[in-house]
Structure 1
């Protein structure tokens, strides 16, 4: 019966807070759903990782408690953001049951207050079936964008069991890397690959004449080699960044982002001892095109591990949309776009690629744009809904 109902109101169960300075799939997809006319209730991160006793985590818990007593807030046309109370110790069964009762009860209340009916669930949370009842929704989409259990501090066994349950029971599953496709296909035939994309219209502003390079970046000497993203020990290869800095002290390596995002134990002391490595903190999303405009080259200096083997870096298409050449480690997800990125299999190859770029030997801006324009949130969301509608029609026909 549910499958005959039109997809209208959508609950997005996210793993990121709406106001995080680095927007990911969760916020961008929510925007696209709203633009399509859907009303969306965006549920902020429920805290999968057990919190540590540090200033960063304690501050986040305090802010979350303040938010939790408030009603969902309207942030855009058709978008409400809600920060429910959630106990973060999900490795305990009684905590998961308590969270499920609290979240389900509160969600039903707020959906009633907002007038949501025939709700569809679009979830990014692998613990979804431990928080919500899928039968309460007319349709369930699981959008798997990361190997979350490979992040530090995660309840691995619980995540593995719960995610398999979610993949098997969701109506459709989308994944953003070929590695995720391979592993999730073992649990369901309804798994489909759509790579990560970028907000092309936003990041291409870096090429506009009236986009200014921010003053704090302009003060840093050129050439500037840039990185934008979470500066976390499990993601970024600090030793590689340090080798670049040592090989070329005349280069300025600029890293924009919060230190320790997702990994509070991150130690950046080996970076801060170099005068030509600049950790300038997070910057507002609307200001990022200006920072990209001031970069000569951009970096994907990731560690090679279980987490990065399963990710497709959003930054790749953001860099290209800004017209910037990219140098990356050999990430599996970039295998189909190697004509648009320089791959460094060793630190020496990585540095040599940067030397070529700083000498003017680089992919053209036109080539960067050619690829980036094909990978936008609007086009990907349209393709996803085309597939959803196709599958739902098939289901109706069988019925």
Structure 2
């Protein structure tokens, strides 16, 4: 089976793939994991999408964490009973019945290995998997991948060791093993690529990409959603998880107070287990509007109503190792972007206004407001090759330079 990229060059596409994700299939905002799974399925690959195994344990006092844990356990029990379910054409989703953050203790690690190994064997037989490509976003699948003799792809999209609640030492140790065993590594930020290349020379820096057709539909929106149209212009928009270790709420607070005629529109929900006093303070400011979660389908309609798109990120170890998917989504919608100076903003061909601190950020926003948005031709030039179809083609081409398919029997621990 083959897939062609924009230059019509054909590359081999695998018959089947087991993808170990760090996000559940039905997360409010899709990331690399769901998009890559869907792109693989679109070229005829049968994909077993294994949802998050839980990288961090619950906080004892967090009701939200315990609700998440109970919900995940119920999904895991359903998957254990019914097996993988086809959630999109060619994508079969498996919710692992495992103990979150079980990698911290040897007995829990062994139990998770038995549980997940059993579920994978059953799913593989049901779906007639024979020689699956292993595509992973985390290293805690190595316990069920033994005697590797074929293609193993590590897609490094975040510095997960820097996520609050993750055991950084345990993660780094497991990731080191994964890097030494992977046939190819793809990193979405320069800092991640530099980190991975120390242990795997076949590491490639490929930034996040975009579904251009979907987000460019913002240009054709004639009527804004009612909850957005009720907010006065100019609107400064942000779309994504409202995470207190990624978003600079203090910066938003300062700019909103200094510029009461500018209206911030925040689309997204708080991070799981989070309790942010700054976020509570932001809700009290009249020109900051929280619109909550919006479906992926509806996002272009909301982007259409932004005068400025923003990436007001904190600068820390985690954020300096990320390439926000929102960047190309904003560009595709024709929106100019104002951001804090994350490392990715210094990459070639990035068209973005960067500013550090309240005063500079206000000046950058004012400048963008005067310039207006990007034309469709300008957006296409900026996006260039950074679409899911072309990215998948390049990743498969690099991976299968050393093709050696995996046997399911030698892959899944018995």
| Range into which the TM-score falls when normalised by the shorter chain | over 0.9
Residues 340, 368 of structure 1: 8 Å contact kept: no
Provide the C-alpha distance between the structure 1 equivalents of 2:360 and 2:13, rounded to a whole number of angstroms. Answer: 53
Instruction: Quote the Cα distance in structure 1 between the aligned partners of 2:139 and 2:254.
Output: 37
Q: What value does the CA root-mean-square deviation take over the aligned residues?
A: 1.8
Give 1:364 deviation, angstroms: 4.7
Aligned to 1:69: 77
Q: Which moved more, 1:15-24 or 1:200-209?
A: 200-209
1:367 is displaced (CA, Å) by: 2.0
Provide the C-alpha distance between the structure 2 equivalents of 1:183 and 1:67, rounded to a whole number of angstroms.
34
Question: Which residue among 106, 109, 113 is the counterpart of 2:126?
Answer: 113
**1:147 and 2:130 correspond:** no
1:293-308 equivalences in 2 (<5 Å): 293-308=304-319
* Cα deviation digits, residues 237-287 of structure 1 (max 9, x gap): 1111111101210111011111124x5233312211211111221111100
Between the aligned partners of 2:341 and 2:147, the Cα distance in structure 1 is 42
Q: Any conservation in 2 of the 1:139–1:171 contact (CA below 8 Å)?
A: yes
SS of residue matched to 1:359: helix
Equivalent residue, structure 2, for 1:202: 214
Superposition map of 1:356-395 within 5 A:
356-360=367-371, 364-392=375-403
Q: What is the TM-score of this pair, normalised by structure 1?
A: 0.92
Match of 1:326 among 327, 337, 344: 337
Q: Distance in 2 between matches of 1:40 and 1:307?
A: 29
1:93 is the counterpart of 2:110: no
- 1:79 matched residue in structure 2: 91
Partner of 1:285: 296
Tell me how far apart the structure 1 counterparts of residues 41 and 286 of structure 2 sit (CA, whole Å): 45
SS at match of 1:206: helix
Check whether the contact 1:238–1:270 (CA below 8 A) recurs between aligned residues. Answer: no
Q: What residue is the counterpart of 1:264 in the other structure?
A: 274
Residues 335, 373 of structure 2: 8 Å contact kept: no
8 Å Cα contact 2:187-2:207 kept in structure 1: yes
2:242 maps to which residue? Answer: 231
**Distance in 2 separating the partners of 1:245 and 1:304:** 20
Note if contact 2:236-2:265 (Cα within 8 Å) is conserved in structure 1: yes
Q: Is the 8 A contact 1:324 1:365 kept in 2?
A: no
1:247 has 2:258 as partner: yes
Give the TM-score normalised by structure 2.
Answer: 0.89
Q: Secondary structure at the match of 1:340?
A: coil
Distance 1:135 1:292 in 2: 48
Counterpart among 18, 30, 35 of residue 23 in structure 1: 30
| Aligned residue pair count | 386
CA-CA distance at 1:220 after TM superposition = 1.1
Contact kept? 2:84, 2:92, Cα under 8 Å: yes
Alpha-carbon distance, 1:337 to partner: 4.5
Residues 128/25 of structure 1: CA separation in 2 closer, same or farther (3 Å cut) = same
- Contact kept, 8 Å, 1:124 with 1:142, in 2: the verdict is yes
Q: Which runs of 5+ in 1 are unaligned?
A: 394-399
Give the whole-Å Cα distance in 1 for the aligned partners of 2:48 and 2:315: 35
- Aligned pairs (5 A) from 1:177-216: 177-209=189-221, 212-216=223-227
Matched, 1:60 2:80: no
Deviation at 1:208, TM superposition (A): 1.3
**1:126 is the counterpart of 2:126:** no
- Establish whether residue 50 from structure 1 lines up as the match of residue 57 from structure 2: yes
Listed one character per residue, the Cα deviations across residues 43-85 of structure 1 (whole Å, up to 9, x for unaligned) are: 1111101112423222222222222222211112111111011
Query: In the alignment, does 2:316 pair up with 1:309?
Result: no
| 1:316-347, Cα deviation, whole Å (9 max, x unpaired) | 00000111010011111121256511010332
SS of structure 2 residue aligned to 1:69: helix
Structure 2's unaligned 5+ residue stretches are 1-11, 405-414
Match of 1:397 in 2: none
Q: Is the 8 Å Cα contact of residues 120 and 137 (structure 1) preserved in structure 2? A: no
Alignment partners' CA distance in 1, 2:359 and 2:172 = 38
1:192-236 superposed Cα distances (whole Å, 9 cap, x missing partner): 1111111111111101145x4211111111111000011011000
Structure 1 residues 21 and 373: CA distance shift in structure 2, 3 A:
farther
Q: Distance in 1 between matches of 2:258 and 2:360?
A: 12
Residue 9 of structure 1: how far off its partner (Å): 1.0
Aligned CA distance change for structure 1 residues 149 and 266 (closer, same or farther; 3 Å): farther
Aligned-pair CA distance for 1:363:
5.1
